[in-house]
Chains A and B, each alone.
Chain A
Amino acid sequence: MTFPLLDAHLIKKDFPIFDRVMRGGNQLVYLDSGATSQKPLTVLDAERQFYTQHNAAVHRGSYLLAEEANESYDNARQVVATFLGGKFEETIFTKSATEALNLLAYSFGNSPHGDRFFLQPGDRIVVSEMEHHANLIPWQQLAKRTGAELAWFPITSEGRLDQSEINTLINDRTKIVAITHQSNVLGTINPLSELIARTHEVGAVFVLDACQSVPHFDIDVKELDIDFLAFSGHKALGPTGIGVLWGREALLEIMEPFLVGGSMIETVTMTDSTWAPLPRRFEAGVPNMAQAVGLSAALKYLDAVGLERIHQHELELTRLALGFLSEIPGVSIVGPTDLLDRGGVVSFTIDGVHPHDVGQVLDQHGIAVRTGHHCAWPLMRKLGVVGTTRASFYLYNTPEDVESLVDGVKSVQSYFKV
């Protein structure tokens, strides 16, 4: 069975990992793209080609390979910038989304008194209760270091962002608002326009954790009118070890560096240094060049398939999964049960079976899901669950994958006699 939008069976052929045989002699049913995506051959080839043909340290040598490495790395950056709707200078490679968010938090924390990003007691940082640890802890710790206050949007019982107190939460003392675009646990896509408008109204900056959105649907940083965005390459068909921070040029220009050292300087004496122009100011050390090249190949792959098609395809899979799973007695969906403002993530619990045990039985059927607290411990506490089982979909998932999941869930119940 295929959906008219996108032939996932055909797409699967581009991903060598689906040839593997899993436990129990089963084919791989990979439903954990929210944690990391699988990689198409084009991405692996791009990385390999960089290493076999162009490998040299960028920004240094004056030989042919170094020129080619520079060009490859610059091209990769331009691909990412275009993908996001931003500029070359605004696109910074990090090793991960986590590092990108830490870069921001530490840079703000390094700001001298009187600077736009300087934080002190009385100032406020606003997050939400559905943040991944990566977009919570950097801000939580920044608040601790500076004496600023951390406030957060609660979630509704349905698992949506409760924006009813937006004007109280984002107040005149608010300097930073950092919110996820799509919850990695619930699948909720947060409506951003009011949040961003209010953030700018009080003169604060808006940081978008786009780890679960950039790989799955169309995003344009200028249209969204956000100030910063972070995402990770490995969730978007790219290699591990590469993440991206996008920031508004005018803001990046006045930010303090985070990591300092080689590559990011303009001049150095024994007692002082000045910084390189954007984007290199924020890229100390020899960067992850091959991974940047791999990421650009990944984004080209996504572009060729089409983000809108991918999103619609994932929604179809989600619709199937929500429908089938909610019909099974003892299974509860955690998160919105309709498709409004929703991405391809379905979390659920099974009465009487711990998520870790659910995952184990599914594994026996070749089905890979995420189980546990999903790096969102505060959200789990709020939802009153110890953890969930999460299926997350991507462009290579088929309706048959959803059927396998549903059959798998039933076999979990029969195995544990619940």
Chain B
Amino acid sequence: MELDSLYQEVILDHYKRPFHKGLSGTPTKQVHHVNPSCGDEITLNIELDGDLIRDVNWDGVGCSISQASVSIMSELLIGKSVDDAFKVVEEFTELMQSKGSILGNEEVLEDAVAFAGVSKFPARIKCALLGWMAFKDAASQGLSQQVKGEK
């Protein structure tokens, strides 16, 4: 059924057992994002070592799509350089805006291709992007903070 293209097994798994959930460590930057239309909230920590993403952890409330998405994203981006991570974010954003016309590059997005079906449900795209936008914000701010030596 149509619904199964939205709720892939991997999404439901991550929803029930999310990765990197729970705020910890000494973040370079912490951000808080909300989705005002549905009330979903996320607090996301990023720990940077120069350009390297040492850790991403988060806490929040939200639907299965938003929670699974940030879980999969954290798993995917930890250990990457910020530049590489931004490329993944861009690819994911493009997938979300595709209205179901592309399947997503599995080599880049790995498990995150499971969200391809979300792009056919306009009301859910923001859910899937919530964590990614928080990450992008945290990484950008974290980077410029390091440059300024404010860490």
Contact = CB atoms under 8 A, between A and B. Distances in A.
Nearest to A373: B39
Interface stretch (A92-100, A247-255, A355-363): A355-363
Interface residues of A, number: 19
A361 B3 contact: yes
B32 interface: no
A353 B62 CA distance: 10
Given A354-B62, A354-B64, A360-B121, A372 B3 contact: no
Contact of A356 (B1, B2, B127): B127
A380 B61 CA distance: 13
A243 B62 CA distance: 33
Interface string A339-381: 0000000000000011111001100100000011100010010
Contacts of A353: 64
A197 interface: no
Contacts of A279: none
Contacts, number: 47
A356 B3 contact: no
Nearest to B3: A364
A165 to B, nearest CB: 29
B124 interface: yes
Tell me which of B1, B2, B37, B39 has the highest count of chain A C-beta atoms within 10 A of its own C-beta: B39
Given A354-B64, A356-B127, A416-B12, A364 B1 contact: yes
A353 B2 CA distance: 19
A185 to B, nearest CB: 12
B103 interface: no
B2 A357 contact: no
A387 interface: yes
A415 interface: yes
A416 B9 CA distance: 11
Interface string B29-49: 000000001111000000000
A24 interface: yes
A386 interface: yes
22 contacts: A23-B2, A24-B1, A24-B2, A353-B64, A354-B64, A356-B38, A356-B63, A356-B124, A357-B7, A357-B63, A357-B65, A360-B6, A364-B1, A364-B3, A371-B38, A373-B38, A373-B39, A386-B61, A386-B62, A387-B38, A387-B39, A416-B12
